[in-house]
Structure 1
Amino acid sequence: MSSDRQITSRRLLLVAAGMSLLGAAAGCRSPWGGGGGPTAAAAPEGFNESLAGPEATPGAAPVTPSAAPSAPPAAAAPAGPSVETVRHTISTAESKPVYELDAERRVVALTIDDGPDPRYTPTVLSLLQQHGIRATFFLIGENAVQYPELVREIADRGHHIANHTWTHPDLRNLSEGKVRDELERTSDLLHRTTGRLPTWFRAPGGDWSTESLKVAADLGMRNMAWSVDPRDWARPGTSAITDRILKDVRPGAIVLNHDGGGDRSQTVAALKAYLPVLVDSGYYFTAPPN
């Protein structure tokens, strides 16, 4: 067997092993129960984990989703045979931002902010499919409304769709009413576009407020922060982004990257560099349930 085939087989086996470790026993604790910091909250009852690359098995080719349907009118009913219409009840403890996953397991959550962007999101999706990775995309409403076909493609490829406000404001400066408008408009749009109600929210810049925590809970969303920030939004260079992630990543890490908000070519190049390193190092990837 050639060297390239040996590497590919090893990566597929690692993905399959990760799936088995996370899903082998019904009593296993979900990595989304938190555990990294004082603000991490336990997963709500019935909260089941959703794994990277569920179709991936040794030797299997990546699954290519069917083409996304054309964009419906903004007021159209949600597409798809199954539409989530019941919001989860979020307790005060569960509303606290989650900064890390279960540190006892060699799992990483890859999160992608500020999209969708037609320049970079398709390439990011291709890279994730290549490595059998599921990620969480925190989408901005005003971008999602422009590119509904990309929103549906993200969902169709099995990634988690999450709320990142409508205009990406500093929520600490907004009244509760304005915060609610930012979050509710985005959740409603993502629901109409994908048939899914977002169950996770991320405040722009990680700047939560008392009002935003309350509104997110009212809308059935928990709050996800991060533990690894390569500051890719500042475009420090591909090597700097790659080195920061590989230096800071650890079991249970939530990694922050961006596919929107400006020139993200460095981020895309960094993903190409560090994803195979993490896979070859024995990490597997998780995303929360939709």
Structure 2
Amino acid sequence: MTFVRVGDVPHHVAVDGSGPVCVLSAGLAMSWFDWDPVVPLLAEHRTVVRFDRPGHGLSAPAAVVPSAAGEAHRIKGVLDALGLRGPATVVGHSIAGFHVEAFARLHPARTAAVVLVDSSIEEHARVPAAPAVRTAAARALGTVLSAAGVPAALGPLTRRAAVRISRTGGGDPAPAGLVRRCYATSRVLQGALLENTHYRAVAAELLALRERNALPAAPVTVLAATAAGERWLARQRSFAHELGARFEAVERSGHLMMLDRPDAVARAVLEGTGRTGGGPAVRSVRHQPFA
């Protein structure tokens, strides 16, 4: 278990494998271990970095509210703290898609490739009014729920249920001990409430960033889960077109694609810069699972 300090906050980090660097960043209220099925498929070819954002997994609570630029700088800060200063493939799931896109736009020289895993999309987001009031309300709600014992009583059960409904089949593969260690805490409840409260503000900030900062000349891949239906796939396809990205509709996958189709996620990472990390590889967008 490793912790690095970024922005004066201890961040839990897991590093596996060797080779060119790839960073895996999970969605709202998810943890480092949610990437476990993907890591063995990458570690032979990549140095795989997973980290918990503040208030997630085993990381300490957030010192500041989330922002697109702040999360982009957090990724850079984690890599710098680990001494990994070369270009990295950044992989973002769900809301973390906002973060890795912001990283690519703000730190182009540090970006080897971008993979967006059923990323959040907000085409017309605006910054909500009274952000300080919203932050205070989220913190107050977290305090009240924690004082009532809600995280300990319902946190792990809520996590299990959310994972189950976000997959095409199967339950939550995470070990019970790890789930309780993370999700029975007020820390993770507060972290999830804070990110959810500022979701639209982060989305609006990213839209503004797109106007000012172009994506670097690095491969971008958009992976979309087919279980969400045709309307979601159409939005994801349009999103990929806007970014000039390769698009893949991943069959037999729900929102938690890293659990349903770890092979598709690993392939997108490896094909983005080639298995050796030396350059893009051109392949079909339709794949069969690894044998």
User: Structure 1 length normalisation: TM-score?
Assistant: 0.29
> More helix per residue: 1 or 2?
2
Report the TM-score when normalising by structure 2: 0.29
